[in-house]
Chain A
Amino acid sequence: MADLPQQAFREEAYELLAELETALLELEECPDDMEVVGQIFRAMHTIKGSGAMFGFNDISSFTHEVETVYDLVRNGQVHVNKALVEISLQARDHIQNLLDACCNGAEADLATGTELIAKLQQFMPPPEPQLQADTQLQADTPPKTVATTESHELKTYRIMFKPHPHILQNGTKISALLEELADLGTCRSIAQMTRLPSFEELDPELCYVSWNVLLTSTCDEDAIRDVFIFVEDDADLNIHLIDTGEEGEEEGQRLGDILIGRGEVTQNDIDRVLAKSKRIGEMLVDAGLVDQDQIEAALQEQTVIREIQEQRRSKKAEKMPVSSSLRVPAERLDELVNLVGEMVTVQSRLSQVAALRHDADLYSIAEEVERLTEELRDSTLNIRMLPIGSTFSKFKRLVRDIASNLCKEVDFVTAGAETELDKTVIEQLNDPLVHIMRNCMDHGIEMPDVREAQGKPRLGTVFLGAEHAGDSVIIEIRDDGKGLSTAKLREKALAKGIINAEDSLNERECYQLIFAPGFSTVEQVSGLSGRGVGMDVVKRAIAALRGSIELHSTEGAGTTVRMQIPLTLAIIESLRVTIAGASFIIPLTAVEECVELTYADIEEAHGRHLAKVRGSLVPYIPLRKAFGVSGAAPPVQQIVITRTGGRRLGFVVDHVIGEHQTVIKPLGPLYKNLRTISGGTILGDGSIALILDLAQLMHQADTLEKQVEIEHE
């Protein structure tokens, strides 16, 4: 428990590092985007500040150096280029390594940090000679960085700048000073005309105007004085802090208060004038206590203060939901999902009991519980839903780094980052996606010169997209690289003994070869891919998620890998069927329809497992036979027609019971080799139903069919 703040810092820092990576990659594409620079600066500023607060001093001091460079970027003193982004990404990785080391109790690699700081310093502008001299004189004074002149709070200053009439003669540009002030924050200037002489007396090359400036900024007074450093002998300058930015200063300042604050009237003057019924500004002008310029400036000040307070109020309001949110460990959520699963099972039992007892009251309660359980289930599963975009940003970095290693030019395009998936599914998708992306980059996208010679743009494209399709998500990875040669795939499969010379494969089957264990088409094994394990692992990982994977390719034009993944792994809608009294579960997403199968239909098909469904023939698998169930089948069986991996296939069962909320339970390591069953579930009566793995059943049927064909030959 004592470690909780540190733990909170770690979690926050990892999130900030992920944001930092995304922002840096964005900056590489749009180096002039100051909003992104601001994001980077803020992320580093927070890591630095919180790190120091919780004793992560190595992280804090290293991040401070990177932050300093980005502060200069913010101020336009350092320009963003590819090299700076590259070093910044390395610096971000170093911060993560330092964080990992802290978490694991390992020793931090400080040498890399020193090396990176040296590289970063090359981007810093050389110090001006005067500043250098100052630094030497004040050796014990800490070096001045903007970070030391800034605080988190937005403060508002009233700056009264009264230039001497001859100020313009030394080449001073008033507009440049005002612009420099505006760069420090939000600025509102009001020109004061009190000194303006008559037109005849006016020397147009002299300055008769003075300025009241309201500046809202995080900077301190010294930073403001720095703006006027070269004109301090040619102007009068007064700076007053009128709003400290702290909570509690919520009372709106009235015009009279502002004028009193500025020393222009006393409270007595106000009281006296208030006795009349005119507007206070008008009354003060009439009373000759202030002029219209002063009223204008005070009105502006009032507006600025009101705006700041309004902003502060809305920020506070925005923060409200944040402060009411909780950071909950994922394990607790898993526990909650498990409990909801149990609840669904009990509810199903309650409904069954109520139906059997024919008790109207009990039935009504059971219905109510069913409705609430359904809501509870949906809400709980929704808590675990995360946008897939967080994974996408990781791949942006992956693609960038691989492209740089391989000297390839690649544009990474994403779509559907907001698509939500169960947290566990997202986590388990990571490795398969890495394998596929690496394959795209290594085997798919050609070298820029090769692409050019083929009339393609030098810049290859890798697309990663996600979209909802019912209760599944379709994830598509597409490249415009060289594609796959079916002849080459076949040749390789023959050489590896995956297929025989006499095997005839259609195009789709040829592409499926790529998912076979030990298959690789690349001549040389590279550090990235080509060890022949990738796509086999991918297929198994996707199957473990109860998903399916397909691959399409056009030689010379590119390859598309399409995965269909269920939204959640915990509870699914399903169809409950029985075979010889035992219950089985078929995921409802795959089910198209149910039709009857009579003895007459079987005889009509002359022993072939084909059913005529509204004019078209659908192959089917008799599950009694597939599972070796003895005994006679009922005279009228049911075919559950499904669509899996683009194929229509029926599964013959004894009876279809109906829809069922299935809480998926793993079968345990003892049954790990049981390919055709993907899990189990507990039914309302306490019995167990097995969940059918349709893709595996289909694959098994194909293999059996081929064996039979070979035996016949």
Chain B
Amino acid sequence: MFEIEKKTVTSPTGEQRLHYQVSGTIDIESIAELKRLLLEGLSSSEHLVLDWNAVEDVDFTALQLMCAFNIYAREQGKIFELKNRFTPPISEAIRRLGFMRETGCSKERKDHCLWVNSGAAKA
């Protein structure tokens, strides 16, 4: 089960971001709740940040949901950022579940794919 701490952050340029700090484990038990929170968040903000720094483990439903949400946010013309997704335990889960990519996938090209670990820009 995961927990979310929500806060609104204003950037120096005056842009408002909705920041979700997630902790715990994201798996099938709680995945429906995460989908609801993401939809809710994106409907109330132009820029949603999901921070996985305190996430201990994820199963493939979490990664699957992130893929779909990443595409959805872009289609809505909004910004979605998944921060700290390459911490050691999460990197290990991404690799184990076969989500780590070099060239993106059929849904996302390399520059948009969440799982291409090409540097700090996306992380």
Q: Which residue of A lies closest to B110 (CB)?
A: A292
Q: Report whether A202 and B35 are in contact in the complex, using a CB–CB cutoff of 8 Å.
A: yes
Interface status of A605 (Cβ within 8 A of chain B): no
Interface residues of B in 65-123 (CB under 8 A from A): 65, 67-69, 71-72, 93, 96-99, 101-109
Q: Report whether B31 and A204 are in contact in the complex, using a CB–CB cutoff of 8 Å.
A: yes
Chain A positions within 8 Å of B107 at CB level: 193, 196, 292
A65 to B101: give the CA distance in the assembly, Å. 44
Q: Report whether B98 and A189 are in contact in the complex, using a CB–CB cutoff of 8 Å.
A: yes
Interface status of B32 (Cβ within 8 A of chain A): yes
Among B1-9, B12-20, B45-53, B56-64, the one that faces the other chain is B56-64
Given contacts A211-B98, A292-B105, A296-B102, contact A198 B71 (CB under 8 A): yes
Given contacts A175-B97, A204-B32, contact A292 B68 (CB under 8 A): no
Interface status of B34 (Cβ within 8 A of chain A): yes
A190 to B65: give the CA distance in the assembly, Å. 17
Given contacts A199-B68, A205-B61, contact A189 B97 (CB under 8 A): yes
A295 to B104: give the CA distance in the assembly, Å. 9
Q: Report whether A199 and B102 are in contact in the complex, using a CB–CB cutoff of 8 Å.
A: no
Q: How many residues of A contact B (CB 8 A)?
A: 37
A194 to B104: give the CA distance in the assembly, Å. 12
Interface status of A209 (Cβ within 8 A of chain B): yes
Q: Report whether A199 and B97 are in contact in the complex, using a CB–CB cutoff of 8 Å.
A: no
Q: Report whether B64 and A196 are in contact in the complex, using a CB–CB cutoff of 8 Å.
A: yes
Q: Which residue of A lies closest to B68 (CB)?
A: A199
Which of A199, A204, A299 lies in contact with B61, CB distance below 8 A?
A204
Q: Report whether A199 and B69 are in contact in the complex, using a CB–CB cutoff of 8 Å.
A: yes
Q: Which residue of A lies closest to B57 (CB)?
A: A175
Which of B59, B69, B72 lies in contact with A175, CB distance below 8 A?
B59
Interface residues of A in 133-191 (CB under 8 A from B): 168, 173-175, 178-179, 182, 188-191
Interface residues of A in 179-226 (CB under 8 A from B): 179, 182, 188-194, 196-200, 202, 204-205, 207-209, 211-213
Q: Which residue of A lies closest to B98 (CB)?
A: A189
Quote the shortest CB–CB distance from B107 to chain A (angstroms): 5
Task: Please report the number of residue pairs spanning A and B whose Cβ atoms sit closer than 8 angstroms.
Answer: 97
Chain B positions within 8 Å of A207 at CB level: 60-61, 64
Interface residues of A in 293-310 (CB under 8 A from B): 293-296, 299-300
A193 to B101: give the CA distance in the assembly, Å. 12
Q: Report whether B32 and A174 are in contact in the complex, using a CB–CB cutoff of 8 Å.
A: no
Q: Report whether B106 and A291 are in contact in the complex, using a CB–CB cutoff of 8 Å.
A: yes
Quote the shortest CB–CB distance from B41 to chain A (angstroms): 13
Chain B positions within 8 Å of A192 at CB level: 105-106
Q: Report whether A199 and B105 are in contact in the complex, using a CB–CB cutoff of 8 Å.
A: no
Chain B positions within 8 Å of A189 at CB level: 96-98
Interface status of A281 (Cβ within 8 A of chain B): yes
A189 to B71: give the CA distance in the assembly, Å. 23
Quote the shortest CB–CB distance from A30 to chain B (angstroms): 24
Q: How many residues of B contact A (CB 8 A)?
A: 31
Given contacts A178-B98, A198-B68, contact A205 B103 (CB under 8 A): no
In terms of DSSP, what is the predominant structure of the interface of chain A?
mixed
Chain B positions within 8 Å of A281 at CB level: 103
Q: How would residues 270 to 283 of chain A score, 1 for a CB under 8 Å from any chain B CB and 0 otherwise?
A: 00000000000100
Chain A positions within 8 Å of B96 at CB level: 175, 178-179, 182, 189
Given contacts A178-B98, A189-B96, A189-B97, contact A204 B64 (CB under 8 A): yes
A182 to B92: give the CA distance in the assembly, Å. 13
Q: Report whether B34 and A191 are in contact in the complex, using a CB–CB cutoff of 8 Å.
A: no
Given contacts A205-B28, A292-B105, contact A213 B98 (CB under 8 A): yes
A204 to B106: give the CA distance in the assembly, Å. 19
Q: Report whether B101 and A174 are in contact in the complex, using a CB–CB cutoff of 8 Å.
A: no
Quote the shortest CB–CB distance from A540 to chain B (angstroms): 63
Given contacts A174-B60, A209-B60, A299-B103, contact A202 B98 (CB under 8 A): no
Chain B positions within 8 Å of A204 at CB level: 28, 31-32, 34-35, 61, 64-65
A281 to B59: give the CA distance in the assembly, Å. 30
Question: B63, B72, B97, B106: which has the most chain A beta carbons within 10 Å?
Answer: B106
Quote the shortest CB–CB distance from B92 to chain A (angstroms): 11
Q: Which residue of B lies closest to A303 (CB)?
A: B102
Chain B positions within 8 Å of A173 at CB level: 59
Q: Report whether A199 and B34 are in contact in the complex, using a CB–CB cutoff of 8 Å.
A: no
Quote the shortest CB–CB distance from A87 to chain B (angstroms): 36
Given contacts A198-B68, A209-B60, contact A299 B35 (CB under 8 A): no
Q: Report whether B71 and A296 are in contact in the complex, using a CB–CB cutoff of 8 Å.
A: no
A192 to B67: give the CA distance in the assembly, Å. 12
Q: Report whether A168 and B28 are in contact in the complex, using a CB–CB cutoff of 8 Å.
A: yes
Quote the shortest CB–CB distance from B120 to chain A (angstroms): 23
Q: Which residue of B lies closest to A296 (CB)?
A: B103
A19 to B76: give the CA distance in the assembly, Å. 66
A110 to B105: give the CA distance in the assembly, Å. 62
Chain A positions within 8 Å of B93 at CB level: 175
Q: Report whether A193 and B106 are in contact in the complex, using a CB–CB cutoff of 8 Å.
A: yes
Chain A positions within 8 Å of B69 at CB level: 199
Which of B60, B99, B102 lies in contact with A299, CB distance below 8 A?
B102
A250 to B98: give the CA distance in the assembly, Å. 27
Chain A positions within 8 Å of B72 at CB level: 198-200
Given contacts A193-B107, A198-B72, contact A175 B67 (CB under 8 A): no
Q: Report whether B68 and A196 are in contact in the complex, using a CB–CB cutoff of 8 Å.
A: yes
13 contacts between A and B (CB under 8 A): A175-B60, A178-B97, A179-B96, A182-B96, A189-B98, A198-B72, A199-B39, A199-B68, A199-B72, A200-B72, A202-B65, A208-B64, A296-B105
- Where the two chains meet, the residues of B that have a C-beta atom closer than 8 Å to any C-beta of A are 28, 31-32, 34-35, 39, 59-61, 63-65, 67-69, 71-72, 93, 96-99, 101-109
Nearest 6 pairs between A and B by C-beta? A189-B98, A199-B72, A291-B106, A191-B98, A204-B31, A293-B106
Additional 13 contacts, C-beta under 8 A, given A188-B98, A191-B98, A199-B69:
A168-B61, A175-B60, A193-B108, A198-B68, A199-B68, A199-B72, A204-B64, A207-B64, A209-B64, A292-B105, A292-B106, A293-B106, A296-B105
